Homo-oligomer: A and B are copies of this chain.
Amino acid sequence: MKLLHTADWHIGRTLNGYSLLDEQKYAFKQILQIAKDEHVDGIVVAGDIYDRAIPSTEAITTLNEMFKILNIDNHFPIYAISGNHDGAKRLNYGRDWMEFNNFYINTLLEESFKPIETNDTQLFLLPFFDPMDARVYYQKKGLDEASVKDIRTIGDAMSLVLDDMYKLFDPAKKHVLVTHFAVSPSAKDIDLTSETTSKVGGLETLNATQFDKFDHVMLGHIHTRFASPSENIRYSGSPIKFNVKEAKTTTNKGFYIVDTTKKSERTDLREITPGTDLIVLNETWETLVDPKFYSKQPVDQDWFAITIKDFDRTKHVSTNIRAQLQDIYGTVVELDYKNIENKNTEAESQDINQLNDESVVDQFFESITGNELSKEQKSIVDDIFVELRSE
């Protein structure tokens, strides 16, 4: 079968307060058009469909419309999972009715052990989960207590999950796994430019060798396809650029069209043309306000992230820097300057929403006491969360 593999739509995301919804709709239209042109048999959306667990009304309406166009209007089966940004239980609403029209969406670990069968392929839809979810699941399933407690890392959990999937393998078919994690051949090889490393306890990333038995692993989570750990274990990347770091790369975003009966190839890639591109400028003030320079910029349709280099703020105290640049460039979504003397450094901060409950307790303890939790204390914290989640 022919599958379109996309991921990390993050519907509802903003960039410094600017809505990306129009850009997301523009990318969606291209995905739809190519799906139609190439007569794909289904669309894989590998998690982080929304940007937040409780999306805005506008984000919900937009996503519903996109799914409707793909699945109801154009009869494409959808194979979707939730990612770490999605609210798994919220996104679960209505899924049983969606199946009436070949729209499959899994958001809970327990839903992952029923592959979708086509004539030549078994599709396993494994949403993002954390080791705690696996503990709860395997505890309910009757795994002995010691083995449940041995689930410490996402790698531990994944071994159990994959073994259960292998039992369901039909040897006459190809096997596709759709999931949402950080996967790498080795941690240092990976270029995590656009998404924090997987925050699940213990090990940060999964190892690609774990997935050897699958013909294709279609991943979400990391926003660049260049982070793909191997030829058949791939990130499609997000359909649009989400931040200034990404904007600095000149390559287009995209998605894959994969024939599941064949090996993946570089030619599977389909590029997405940005509607509003994000242009990064790093120039002196004199250059930025020079018509010879800015007349060559696409100032009418694009967004700009501008860093003024070698800037002496004292010489411009009476200038409204932002207003003047907006007059020239239109939408300036980010503005920064580097002094001649003081070089600004970007502040590093951690988003608490990116951490699991366990890590929040760990880090809180450490910031208050100055000490890390001991192994015994960590174990107690783990057990408390398992108990809480079982309720």
Contacts and interface: CB of A to CB of B under 8 A. Distances in A.
Interface stretch (A85-93, A251-259, A272-280): A85-93
Could you say which of A60, A71, A94 has the most chain B C-beta atoms within 10 Å of its C-beta? A94
Contact of A101 (B60, B68, B87, B100): B100
A151 to B, nearest CB: 23
Interface residues of A, number: 21
Contact of A94 (B87, B89, B93): B93
Contact of A60 (B63, B68, B93): B93
A72 B97 contact: yes
B90 A60 contact: yes
A97 B87 CA distance: 20
Contacts of A103: 97
Interface string A96-126: 1110110100000000000000000000000
Could you say which of A54, A89, A96 has the most chain B C-beta atoms within 10 Å of its C-beta? A96
Chain A binding surface, main DSSP class: helix
Contact of A57 (B64, B72, B90): B90
A71 B93 CA distance: 14
Number of copies: 2
A64 B54 CA distance: 17
A61 interface: yes
Contacts of A63: 93
Contact of A64 (B61, B64, B71, B94): B94
A61 B93 CA distance: 7
A57 B93 CA distance: 10
A16 to B, nearest CB: 22
Contacts of A101: 97, 100
Contact of A89 (B61, B71, B92, B93): B61
A56 to B, nearest CB: 10
Could you say which of A64, A72, A89, A93 has the most chain B C-beta atoms within 10 Å of its C-beta? A93
A79 to B, nearest CB: 15
Interface string A57-77: 100110110001001100000
The 6 A-B pairs with the shortest beta carbon distances in the complex, nearest first, are A94-B94, A100-B100, A97-B97, A57-B89, A97-B98, A64-B93
20 contacts: A57-B87, A57-B89, A57-B90, A60-B89, A60-B92, A61-B89, A61-B92, A64-B92, A64-B93, A64-B94, A71-B97, A72-B96, A93-B93, A93-B94, A94-B97, A94-B98, A97-B97, A97-B98, A97-B103, A100-B100
Interface of A: 54, 57, 60-61, 63-64, 68, 71-72, 87, 89-90, 92-94, 96-98, 100-101, 103
Given A57-B89, A60-B90, A93-B93, 18 more contacts: A54-B54, A60-B92, A60-B93, A61-B92, A63-B93, A64-B92, A64-B94, A64-B96, A71-B97, A72-B96, A72-B97, A94-B94, A97-B97, A97-B98, A97-B100, A97-B101, A100-B100, A100-B101
